[in-house]
């Protein structure tokens, strides 16, 4: 079975800079004959604040021909940090659910695999929704049976290694990271994430595969980012599942315009704290 991942589309109504790239990537996926598509967060440019962006994004998703699974990112439902500009909260989660359904899912459509999609924006927020998600995650792992698990999350668990310092804007924080790692220990085969706008395929003995899916929208320059091992490529990612293995392919898509977020000089987003 083959699935597509479109990550970080950042499509908006007031700021529509990345809509053309999204449409090109969507057409590329529609032509690729996939079994289903995962949209891995930051679907909207500012769904965390603008209902209009959510309405537009939902209409836009409908033009994907294969079934779609969606997860929220920070620009869809807000940030983990309670001190941030847009903290995730009950109202933002509710808006997501209204337009896109659940903020997490379990998918057993691929023989031998269980895909577990989580809302990375809840971890270590202390919100009641966080505890409810942990219970769902524990059950999803417990009931996986012999299936291998691929964890899907907008934010990665780490940039360079499991024990790195906490960077609330960039990765899932340490306590939640260790808890997820413990769950992954037994049958966790892969962790697929977005958010960094870089691509990565990392295979280390005794560790789950680490996949960073290609963003469709824009890149960021090294100077604005913490050290990380990814490659700068915009486009679409494909995962092919054969028996108990998974192949990953990052594809540049003709017509996609490469721009860097810094070159918009704060007109899209204020710089991260």
| Residue 42 binding Fe ion, by CB under 5 A | yes
Q: Which of 232, 231, 229 is nearest to 218 (CA)?
A: 232
Q: Single out the residue of 36, 174, 10 nearest to residue 105, CA to CA.
A: 36
User: Binding to Fe ion by residue 46, rule CB under 5 A?
Assistant: no
Contact in structure between 157 and 180 (CB atoms under 8 Å): yes
- Minimal distance, residue 185 CB to Fe ion, in Å: 27
* Residues near Fe ion (CB under 5 A), total: 5
Q: Dump strand ranges (E) for 33-126.
A: 36-39, 68-70, 105-107, 113-118
Which of the stretches 21-29, 37-45, 144-152, 184-192 binds Fe ion when contact is defined by CB under 5 A?
Answer: 37-45
Among 3, 4, 5, 8, binds Fe ion (CB under 5 A): 8
User: Are 261 and 8 within 8 A, CB to CB?
Assistant: no
Tell the smallest beta-carbon distance from residue 239 to Fe ion (Å).
19
Give the nearer residue to Fe ion in terms of CB position, either 114 or 198.
Answer: 198
Choice between 14 and 135, CB closer to Fe ion: 14
Which residues ranging from 85 to 144 are in contact with Fe ion (CB under 5 A)?
none
Residues 70 and 230: their CA atoms lie apart, in Å, by 23
For Fe ion, the closer CB: 48 or 246: 48
Q: Does position 74 bind Fe ion by CB under 5 A?
A: yes
Site for Fe ion in 178-217 (CB under 5 A): 195
**Residue choice 73, 117, 188, 235 for contact with Fe ion (CB under 5 A):** 73
Taking the complex as a whole, how short is the minimal distance between the CB of residue 42 and Fe ion, in angstroms? 3
CB of 78 to Fe ion, least distance (A): 11
Strand partners, 107: 115
User: Which of 142, 146, 140, 210 has its CA nearest to residue 177?
Assistant: 210
How far is CA 72 from each of CA 48, 69, 267, rounded to the nearest angstrom?
10, 10, 23
Q: What's CA 205's distance to the chain center, in Å? A: 24
Stretch that binds Fe ion, among 4-12, 129-137, 166-174, 257-265 (CB under 5 A): 4-12
Hey, which residues between 48 and 67 contact Fe ion (CB under 5 A)?
A: none
CA pair distance 33, 201, nearest whole angstrom:
23
What tokens appear for 236 in the block? Answer: 């679409």
Residues of this chain that bind Fe ion (CB under 5 A):
8, 42, 73-74, 195
């Amino acid at each position: 079975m083959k699935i597509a991942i479109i990550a970080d589309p950042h499509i908006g109504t007031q700021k529509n800079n990345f809509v053309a790239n999204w449409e090109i990537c969507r057409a590329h996926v529609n032509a690729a004959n996939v079994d289903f598509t995962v949209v891995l967060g930051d679907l909207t440019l500012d769904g965390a604040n603008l209902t209009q962006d959510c309405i537009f994004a939902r209409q836009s998703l409908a033009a994907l021909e294969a079934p779609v699974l969606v997860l929220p990112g920070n620009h869809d439902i807000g940030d983990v940090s309670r001190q941030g500009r847009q903290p995730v909260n009950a109202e933002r989660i509710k808006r997501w659910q209204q337009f896109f359904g659940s903020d997490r899912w379990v998918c057993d459509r691929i023989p031998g695999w269980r895909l577990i999609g989580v809302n990375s924006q809840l971890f270590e927020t202390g919100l009641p929704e966080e505890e409810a998600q942990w219970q769902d995650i524990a059950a999803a792992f417990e009931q996986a049976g012999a299936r291998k698990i691929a964890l899907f999350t907008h934010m990665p668990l780490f940039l360079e290694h499991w024990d790195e310092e906490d960077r609330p804007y960039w990765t899932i924080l340490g306590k939640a990271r260790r808890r997820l790692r413990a769950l992954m220990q037994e049958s966790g085969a892969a962790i697929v994430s977005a958010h960094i706008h870089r691509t990565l395929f990392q295979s280390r003995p005794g560790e789950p595969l680490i996949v960073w899916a290609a963003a469709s929208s824009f890149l960021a320059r090294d100077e604005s980012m913490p050290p990380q091992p990814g490659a700068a490529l915009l486009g679409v990612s494909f995962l092919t599942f054969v028996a108990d293995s998974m192949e990953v392919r990052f594809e540049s898509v003709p017509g996609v315009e490469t721009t860097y977020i810094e070159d918009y000089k704060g007109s899209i987003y204020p710089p991260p704290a």
